[in-house]
A and B are shown apart, each in its own frame.
Chain A
Amino acid sequence: AQKITQTQPGMFVQEKEAVTLDCTYDTSDPSYGLFWYKQPSSGEMIFLIYQGSYDQQNATEGRYSLNFQKARKSANLVISASQLGDSAMYFCAMREATDSWGKLQFGAGTQVVVTP
């Protein structure tokens, strides 16, 4: 069963605007971590931000922040002040603590296009 769901296959956003990328997840493990990765057209996978299930605060890293709603099992990525270089595919991923091998399970991704 799909554990990570990203419902937005593609989005357009204007430069300097904020964009929210949706991610919902399914787990019965009380301890887990959520990751967001960026994949530009060049193909590499770039780690952006991490949120732990026990973290009291929503994670932030520069222009990236996580809107973490534990009860709803959602971990939406917010990119503020979008730049042309933010055009990329974005993936949400989860690691469950019971998985001692540390595997990440990925969603299908959301393609973001930033327009001038």
Chain B
Amino acid sequence: NAGVTQTPKFRILKIGQSMTLQCTQDMNHNYMYWYRQDPGMGLKLIYYSVGAGITDKGEVPNGYNVSRSTTEDFPLRLELAAPSQTSVYFCASSTARDSRVHNSPLHFGNGTRLTVT
């Protein structure tokens, strides 16, 4: 059972380049999320999705775009990379709400370490 798979694991970009971080999950989860983690910090939400075709901005969406054409895939696009986007990016997924409080944990991929120089 692969869970949440992120590619690539590492990437170095030059300022102004673009790239797509790939994320796919095989658990048939409706909810998917992109977080970034800066050194020594917690995770901040970039974008999220509740299902195919439905996405919305999180806390730090500037400089990023997402799409969700299938349940499995939730790629994150970086346009015009900047040094401030140097970070570790985590994709996560979760099942739909099935109780009074949505108690399903987020299942995380292993992260993509991105450096912009």
Partners in one complex: yes
Chain A residues engaging chain B, CB cutoff 8 angstroms: 4, 31-33, 35, 43-45, 47, 50, 52-54, 91, 95, 97, 100-109
Min C-beta distance of A85 to chain B, whole Å: 18
How far, in angstroms, from A62 to B106 measured CA to CA in the complex? 20
Which residue of B is nearest A99, CB measured? Answer: B102
Find chain A residues with CB under 8 A from B50 CB. 100-101
Min CB gap B24→A, angstroms: 17
Of B33, B40, B42, B88, the residue contacting A91 (CB under 8 A) is: B42
On chain B, which size bracket covers the interface? Answer: 20 to 34
Contacts of A45 in B (CB 8 A): 90, 92, 106, 108, 111
Q: Choose among B40, B41, B42, B100 the residue that contacts A54 (Cβ–Cβ < 8 A).
A: B100
Docked-complex contact A44 and B97, CB < 8 angstroms: no
Q: Is the interface of A mostly helix, strand, loop or mixed?
A: loop
Contacts from B to A (Cβ < 8 Å): 31, 33, 35, 40-45, 48, 50, 56, 58, 88, 90, 92, 94, 97, 100-108, 110-111, 113
Establish whether residues B58 and A47, one from each chain, have CB atoms under 8 Å apart when the complex forms. no
Residue in B closest to A100 when the chains form the complex, CB atoms = B97
A-B contact count (CB 8 A): 69
If the complex has contacts A44-B110, A103-B48, are A95 and B42 also in contact, measured as CB distance less than 8 A? no
Determine whether the beta carbon of A33 is less than 8 Å from that of B103. Answer: yes
> Pick the contact of B42 from A52, A53, A107 — CB < 8 Å?
A107
In the bound complex, residues from chain A placing their C-beta under 8 Å from that of B94 are: 102
CB B96 to nearest CB in A, in angstroms, measures: 8
Query: What is the minimal beta-carbon distance from B70 to any residue of chain A, in angstroms?
Result: 19
Are the CB atoms of A95 and B111 closer together than 8 Å? no
Verify A102–B42 contact, CB threshold 8 A: no
**Closest CB in chain B relative to A1 CB, distance in Å:** 12
Known A101-B31, A101-B50: A53·B111 in contact at CB below 8 Å: no
Q: Is the CB of A50 within 8 A of B41?
A: no
